[in-house]
Chains A and B, each alone.
Chain A
Amino acid sequence: MATAAGPSTARPVLELTGEATPVRVLAIDLWRHRGLLPMLAAKDFHARYRSATLGVLWSVLLPLLQGAVFAIVFTRVVDIPVSPGVSYPVFVISGMVLWSFLTQSLSAGATAIVDGGAVAGKVYFPRSILPAVPVLANLVSLAIAQASVLLLMVVFDVPWSATLLLLPPAMALTALVAVLLAEPLALLHVYFRDVRYVVQAGLMVALYASPVLYPLDAAAGLRPLLLANPVSGPLQLARFAIFGEADAIGAALTATSAWVLALSAVTALAYRRHERVAVDRL
């Protein structure tokens, strides 16, 4: 009944030894399976919200709600100094939107290889696809949440300007950071199941070590630490896109770029050695 797949132009050859896989081979494999990532992400997205009546709205609602709480607490209870032209509610909600995307993506991404073990243990495809799946799937809710930030800007009298075009790059950069953090963590999680909890704890602490709730210059002594944070770059870029001004955006983006390079190298090294044999531990 099946129809022939047609003669493949180049017959694929699988060659395996006990040695580490060259990065070139990893890249070719990844390219050959490029269709899988969007498919798995779409599947992840659909499956997650299929049975919930409000569906994807939940993932949008939560960061907005959380941002709203912070907006009330940090204007009515404690005052956080932001620049005169900046509306704190918009500031904190736009930050929370990116942060919650990072949190959700990273906690799902860091366990993705173990969670996908049933599939990964039976069929081969590059395992590095798995941690990227939740990140890509969450981009949908991120986009919807960002759209609501645009509406909030109207409510709080923050004018729309051409810099808003930088919002998508800021989102993309956050996603890149999320993927690159998730990749080595997901592999590590195969060997040390504590990683799941370390990630949760780390993310909880990191919220306060990132310029999400307060601007960079509000934390005098912590400034270098905040700048060295991998998500400071995209956060500051998003603030610049919304308010037309952001502190130390160049330094923050430089730090993020350095993180991206370092994490890429770590990822490549880790997958060279463990890509295939990690499933032995599942």
Chain B
Amino acid sequence: MAAITLDAVGKRYRMTDDDPVFVRQLAKVLTGRRAVREHWALRDVDLEVHHGESIGVIGRNGSGKTTMLRLLAGVSAPTVGRLRVEGSVAPLIGVGVGFNPELTGRENVFANGQILGLSKAQLTRDLDEIVAFAELEEFISTPVKFYSSGMFLRLAFAVAIQVEPEVLLVDEILAVGDLAFQLKCLERMRELRERGTTIVVVTHNLGSLSRMCDRAVVLSHGRKRFDGDVDGALGAYHEAMRDDREARGRPALTEQEGTELLHAGGAEVTVLVRDTGGRPTAQARAGDELVVELEAHLDHEVTDPIVGFAVGHPIYGNVYMAHTLPGEIAGTFGPDKPVRATIRVEAPQLEGSYHVVASLADADGSLTLGQSRHADFYVTTTARATGVVDLGAVVELDGRGVADLRRR
């Protein structure tokens, strides 16, 4: 039987609208007229995850991801439908759960470990290993309140990864800790995955999804919108975002975020990313050619403007910046004659969320006339690396290759 089965699962939350005026609120409660709103966080979700499978659950905020994780962890129960999880479950969301600042590191290891499902005997046996992993040998008898946040996190994580579950639930893995911590997290997940642990990763950060998961599910407004390979899921995710925008009466995503304008000095700049086939796109493979279209509407005449653009990453900042030189774009533009330029670029070499921003400046580059909003796109790659540039590492041992981290 499958490791995880969801059968028409729905989860309804009831929310009350409380009146800020105490007497009115009291009257409403007493007369039973308190406003109660119902919200279906999940609706009609069917899902089957097999033993040993790694699956990603993606969706925007409020799409039902966290609710799904809570249900899988058994923290809450569905309102309708049936949910079945086979095997021991451990949430990697449980990092540091139940840590008490007054207690020593050692005491907290035992408390937290047992809450996460480890036995006392197991913890006694593995204590040294946990402490060594957290690099806290000297401080293990110190109350946790004296720890720095880094020490705290290391200890909490060392306990959390000690749990050897059959089903591992991971929430927003890349949202906490520094880079080293995140890498440890990823490494541990890879290890568990190789040993046949079923993994469910819930995220709205699309980073490394394709490296960690065999399959992905897209949730939108509590419903399952897509279930299949990761590439397809990324497409469905962006489609869901576009639909949301349309539903809210905003311009569709195909016109990209760029249509929301910033006025800086007389030019409205929009930017749009297309693939080489001319289709608006929000994803690319590393190294693919992308066509960035810039359009600038002016409210006054400008001669020989300068076009600049930058490709940025949410963590690493701008990874690529370039602009034209004075005179390269020759001519006079104005209210009746917008600037239309296309910029051909190669998609960044490593996986991640990127954005492109374009701007228009006057002839000597001293005055920015307008800058576009971010146009987001996502890059996938087969390279086993993170960062900004692909340095194409190959690991050898005794002259023989053991790991090829290059893009294939």
Q: In whole angstroms, what is the CA distance A241 to B71 when docked?
A: 50
Query: B77 near A5 (CB under 8 angstroms)?
Result: no
- Which of A12, A18, A39 lies at the interface centre, i.e. has the most chain B CB atoms within 10 A of its CB? A18
Q: Is B166 an interface residue (CB 8 A)?
A: yes
Q: In whole angstroms, what is the CA distance A121 to B98 when docked?
A: 11
Minimal beta-carbon separation of B286 from chain A (angstroms) = 32
Within 8 A of A (CB), among B301-358: none
Give every chain B residue within 8 A of A36 (Cβ-Cβ).
114-115
The interface stretch among B88-96, B207-215, B252-260 is: B88-96
Query: A12 near B88 (CB under 8 angstroms)?
Result: yes
4 closest Cβ pairs, A-B complex:
A124-B74, A276-B77, A14-B85, A47-B102
Count residues of chain A with CB under 8 A from any CB of chain B.
36
Residue of A nearest to B13 (CB): A280
- Which of B78, B80, B115, B125 lies at the interface centre, i.e. has the most chain A CB atoms within 10 A of its CB? B115
Chain A residues within CB distance 8 Å of chain B? 1-5, 8, 11-18, 21, 35-36, 39-40, 43, 46-47, 50-51, 118-125, 276-277, 279-280
Q: Is B82 an interface residue (CB 8 A)?
A: yes
13 A-B pairs (CB sep. < 8 Å):
A2-B164, A3-B125, A13-B85, A14-B85, A14-B86, A16-B77, A35-B114, A39-B111, A46-B107, A51-B102, A118-B97, A120-B75, A123-B94
Q: In whole angstroms, what is the CA distance A261 to B212 when docked?
A: 52
Give every chain B residue within 8 A of A46 (Cβ-Cβ).
102-103, 107
Query: B102 near A124 (CB under 8 angstroms)?
Result: no
Give every chain B residue within 8 A of A8 (Cβ-Cβ).
88
Give every chain A residue within 8 A of B118 (Cβ-Cβ).
5
Query: A4 near B85 (CB under 8 angstroms)?
Result: no
Q: A2-B126, A36-B115, A47-B103 are in contact. Are A16 and B83 (CB under 8 A)?
A: yes
Q: In whole angstroms, what is the CA distance A17 to B82 when docked?
A: 5
Q: In whole angstroms, what is the CA distance A24 to B182 when docked?
A: 41
Please pick, from A2, A12, A17, A277, the residue contacting B83 in the complex, using a CB distance under 8 A.
A17
Query: B73 near A123 (CB under 8 angstroms)?
Result: yes
Please pick, from B77, B107, B126, the residue contacting A277 in the complex, using a CB distance under 8 A.
B77
Beyond A123-B94, A123-B98, 20 additional contacts (C-beta under 8 Å) are A2-B163, A3-B164, A4-B164, A11-B86, A11-B87, A12-B88, A13-B86, A16-B74, A17-B78, A17-B82, A21-B77, A36-B115, A39-B110, A47-B102, A120-B75, A121-B75, A122-B73, A125-B115, A276-B76, A280-B76
Please pick, from B93, B120, B125, B129, the residue contacting A1 in the complex, using a CB distance under 8 A.
B129
Give every chain B residue within 8 A of A121 (Cβ-Cβ).
70, 75
Q: A13-B85, A119-B115 are in contact. Are A47 and B76 (CB under 8 A)?
A: no
Query: B102 near A122 (CB under 8 angstroms)?
Result: no
Query: B97 near A50 (CB under 8 angstroms)?
Result: no
Minimal beta-carbon separation of A133 from chain B (angstroms) = 11
Q: A1-B133, A5-B164 are in contact. Are A122 and B86 (CB under 8 A)?
A: no
Give every chain B residue within 8 A of A16 (Cβ-Cβ).
71, 74, 77-78, 82-84
Q: Is B382 an interface residue (CB 8 A)?
A: no
Give every chain A residue within 8 A of B82 (Cβ-Cβ).
15-17
Give every chain B residue within 8 A of A124 (Cβ-Cβ).
73-75
Q: In whole angstroms, what is the CA distance A279 to B75 when docked?
A: 8
Q: In whole angstroms, what is the CA distance A39 to B107 when docked?
A: 10
- Which of A16, A35, A39, A125 lies at the interface centre, i.e. has the most chain B CB atoms within 10 A of its CB? A16
Give every chain B residue within 8 A of A276 (Cβ-Cβ).
74-77
Give every chain B residue within 8 A of A280 (Cβ-Cβ).
13, 76
Give every chain A residue within 8 A of B126 (Cβ-Cβ).
2-3
Give every chain B residue within 8 A of A40 (Cβ-Cβ).
111
Q: In whole angstroms, what is the CA distance A35 to B113 when docked?
A: 12
Give every chain A residue within 8 A of B133 (Cβ-Cβ).
1
Minimal beta-carbon separation of B83 from chain A (angstroms) = 5
Minimal beta-carbon separation of A4 from chain B (angstroms) = 6
Residue of B nearest to A125 (CB): B115
Minimal beta-carbon separation of B16 from chain A (angstroms) = 10
Give every chain B residue within 8 A of A123 (Cβ-Cβ).
73, 75, 91, 94, 97-98, 115-116
Minimal beta-carbon separation of A13 from chain B (angstroms) = 5
Q: In whole angstroms, what is the CA distance A211 to B125 when docked?
A: 50
Q: In whole angstroms, what is the CA distance A277 to B110 when docked?
A: 27
Q: A1-B129, A123-B73, A276-B75 are in contact. Are A43 and B87 (CB under 8 A)?
A: no
Q: Is B189 an interface residue (CB 8 A)?
A: no
Minimal beta-carbon separation of B46 from chain A (angstroms) = 15
